[in-house]
């Protein structure tokens, strides 16, 4: 009968651990939801800032193209040269 006594102690400890986890879990989920909402707000702010930067760059590029001569505009539309990478041997 000693085997069952030790087994019951282990089951009791495991049950106590699971009960504590079960009681703490709702608070963990609520805390994670708050952090997720804050991350969403920060991401939306970053997206707005990035959109403003993109719009500003487009305006600057349009202004620059208006002031450049026609030859420079042709060079901007040409395809860039392909750069080949060399393989390194180890």
Alpha helices in the chain (DSSP H): 2-67, 70-77
Domains of the chain, by residue range, sit at: 41-67
pTM of the model: 0.48
pLDDT tens digits, 15-63 = 999 999 999 998 888 889 989 999 999 999 999 999 999 999 999 999 9
Give CA separation, 23 vs 26, 35, 66, in Å: 7, 20, 67
pLDDT tens digits, 5-15 = 778 888 999 99
**pLDDT at residue 90 above 50?**
no
**pLDDT at residue 71 above 90?**
no
pLDDT tens digits, 72-82 = 555 556 555 55
User: Are the CB atoms for 65 and 73 separated by under 8 Å?
Assistant: yes
């Amino acid at each position: 009968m000693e085997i069952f006594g030790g087994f019951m102690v282990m089951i009791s400890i495991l049950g106590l651990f699971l009960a504590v986890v079960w009681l703490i879990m709702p608070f963990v989920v609520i805390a994670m939801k708050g952090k997720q909402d804050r991350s969403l707000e920060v991401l939306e702010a970053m997206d707005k800032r990035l959109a403003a930067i993109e719009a500003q760059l487009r305006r600057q590029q349009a202004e620059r193209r208006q002031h450049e001569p026609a030859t420079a505009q042709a060079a901007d539309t040409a395809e860039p040269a392909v750069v080949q990478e060399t393989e390194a041997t180890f």
